[in-house]
Structure 1
Amino acid sequence: MAQAVTAPGAVAKRRSVKSIYPTWFYLPAGLLYVVLFALPTFASFYFAFTRWSLQDVEFTGWENFVTFFSEPQLRTGFINTFVYGFVTSGAKVVLGLALAVLLTSQLIGRGYLRSVVFFPVLVSAIGVGITFKVLMDPFDGLINESLSALGITGPAWLTDPQWALMSVALIDVWKGVGIATLIYIAGLAAIPQEYYEAAKVDGAGGWKAFRSITLPLVRPATATVILLSLIGGLRSFDLIWATTRGGPGFTSDVIASVIYKQYQAGFYGLSTAGNVVLFLVVTAIVVPISTLLNRREVER
């Protein structure tokens, strides 16, 4: 039987027409993104300019934003948010890299130690907060009792205005450093061992090899840890609420806890405006840092 001959031009034309079949696989994820993220985001921007409840909505213009920025605890919350975010992210970068270097060395029981470091990540923030609230009790807490056995008077970790915010930051670092360590371990594993062998032949010591080889080659991991930790720190709420509820007074309040207190008081439009402010603050900080880190990575 003779076979039909297809012109080369027709074959090329048929190949150039892309099928829409693969597009259908994007629809479920796209619908979830629109329903769970895009629509609530645009709705928040609208309701931020209103005084709303479950029954009615009244457009008020910029009134919510003016009121929100005139709140005295907001200024404290803004400062605390930046301090908390940058302190926790910086500590996670330093400790995560140090632990990753230690746990990728020829250390006895390093597999077990890796699981110990990562375990706090698996525990809920509320559970961690409640546990440390008991441990950091100034009178009966295990931490202060241990310090007393050494002759040291422990502070009121979560009830002293000078210690409250930094105490919660330390808890956050303890809970989240496992993720940073895991990312750094993956980055260190990707570095060819030939580089270290060549540096050793050239007479480079451990510190010089770390500074000249490890630090530059784990830059992508560092950028990832900085961004994830900073976003989490700027948006932190659950751990602070479980331990101090923003107290004593407003000394450990962050933007998220101020917003939640407005919701509790029934000022829904005002708290929605606070959510918009938090979204813009996180975006204004994270996007330039991400652009800078990615630009340095491309230049390298």
Structure 2
Amino acid sequence: MNRIFKRTYSYWFLLPAALIYFVIFILPTAMSFFFSLTRWTLIEWEFIGFENFVTFFREQSLNIGFKNTLVYAVVTCGLKVILGLLLGVLLTSKLRTRNYLRSVIFFPTLVSTIAVGIAFSMMMHPSQGIINTALAAIGITGPDWLGDTRLTLLSVALVDVWKGVGVATVIYIAGIMSIPSEYYEALQIDGGNGWRKFWNIILPLSRPATNSVIILAFIGGLRSFDLVWAMTKGGPGFTTDLIASIIYKQYQGGFYGLATAGNVILFLVVSALAFPLYAYLNRKEVDL
């Protein structure tokens, strides 16, 4: 009896966290699922079943939005993994300015995403932007970064990578620094060079860091909205529309139930892609 009391007593310490989790996550999620089945305003609602979902899937730009969202997530995730790993290796070396460079690389993460979007929109202006001006100074005619439908999504993705690679770098730095020094000593005894150090030690033993970066970057790419909206508002046309920007446009139009259904669909899409990826990466990590 005393043992049961002690076990029950310890569970009471979980109650504050459970209440916070319920209020902040469970309750809003349940309300979102409910209101996605209604036509609602701030003062009234009407239950309409799955009509919002049917209407959302008939959205003209939805196919483009799904494709753009997936491409955007894959590109930004891949570049953050590659650049984060390379910068992590560089900034854990014996470079004398590594502490200063760590601060410089992480700084863009602290800047407002909207501010970054507005700043790069001006920098990428085809005739007055600093990027094309610099290219013109060396005899290169710069493209219309945000006006050319072939470049716009990639341009925004590169800005996203510039802003977010600092987080990936920090994760890799922590992962690389946690590798026991005995591995490096053994490699040095065997006469291994820098390439073997990277390929045989750093790359495989930093897999947990790689998995974390992939999951965070991929989910962030699927949910991305603010940077795209600040730079292009989904244009030109629908060429940079993501699922999140389509949902926002529906909110702007006053179709709150429809937009809520879109959020539910986005939540399901992210879950359907992220959870299997997470399980796959964890299985590969265990196999290693």
TM-score by length of 2: 0.96
Among 280, 283, 287, the residue aligned to 1:295: 283
Q: Which residue of 2 aligns with 1:130?
A: 118
For residues 15-164 of structure 1, the aligned pairs below 5 Å read 15=3, 17-18=5-6, 20-164=8-152
What amino acid does structure 1 have at the position aligned with 2:30?
Answer: F
Shift of 1:32: 1.9
Structure 2 unaligned runs (5+)?
none
Aligned partners of 2:17 and 2:133: how far apart in 1? 52
Shift of 1:22: 4.0
Aligned partners of 2:198 and 2:97: how far apart in 1? 23
**Residue 183 in structure 1 maps to residue 171 in structure 2:** yes
**Residue 201 in structure 1 maps to residue 184 in structure 2:** no
Aligned partners of 1:221 and 1:193: how far apart in 2? 18
Shift of 1:269: 0.9
Q: Which residue of 1 aligns with 2:216?
A: 228
Q: Which residue of 1 aligns with 2:249?
A: 261
Aligned length: 288
Secondary structure (helix, strand or coil) at the match of 1:46 reads helix
What amino acid does structure 2 have at the position aligned with 1:263?
Answer: Y
Instruction: Give the CA RMSD over aligned residues.
Output: 1.3
Aligned partners of 1:285 and 1:99: how far apart in 2? 28
Structure 1, 173-182 or 27-36: larger mean CA deviation: 27-36
What amino acid does structure 2 have at the position aligned with 1:251?
Answer: T
TM-score by length of 1: 0.92
Aligned partners of 2:127 and 2:116: how far apart in 1? 20
Aligned partners of 2:279 and 2:88: how far apart in 1? 26
Aligned partners of 1:182 and 1:193: how far apart in 2? 19
Secondary structure (helix, strand or coil) at the match of 1:51 reads strand
Moved over 3 A (4+): 13-17, 19-25
What amino acid does structure 1 have at the position aligned with 2:242?
Answer: V
1:101-129 per-residue CA deviation (whole Å, 9 max, x = no partner) reads: 01111112111001000000111101111
Structure 1, 25-34 or 177-186: larger mean CA deviation: 25-34
What amino acid does structure 1 have at the position aligned with 2:245?
Answer: S
Aligned partners of 1:24 and 1:17: how far apart in 2? 11
Structure 1, 126-135 or 25-34: larger mean CA deviation: 25-34
Shift of 1:199: 1.4
Secondary structure (helix, strand or coil) at the match of 1:258 reads helix
Distance 1:32 1:202, change over 3 A: same
Among 263, 281, 292, the residue aligned to 2:269: 281
What amino acid does structure 1 have at the position aligned with 2:259?
Answer: S
What amino acid does structure 2 have at the position aligned with 1:121?
Answer: T
Shift of 1:207: 1.4
Aligned partners of 2:28 and 2:175: how far apart in 1? 36
Structure 1, 96-105 or 55-64: larger mean CA deviation: 55-64
Structure 1 unaligned runs (5+)?
1-12
Aligned partners of 1:16 and 1:273: how far apart in 2? 45
Structure index of larger Rg? 1
Shift of 1:27: 2.6
- Identical-residue share of aligned pairs (%): 62
Aligned partners of 2:264 and 2:139: how far apart in 1? 49
Distance 1:16 1:170, change over 3 A: same
For residues 240-259 of structure 1, the aligned pairs below 5 Å read 240-259=228-247
Aligned partners of 1:94 and 1:167: how far apart in 2? 18
Shift of 1:23: 3.5
What amino acid does structure 2 have at the position aligned with 1:219?
Answer: R
Structure 1, 18-27 or 42-51: larger mean CA deviation: 18-27
Aligned partners of 2:183 and 2:36: how far apart in 1? 55
Secondary structure (helix, strand or coil) at the match of 1:151 reads coil
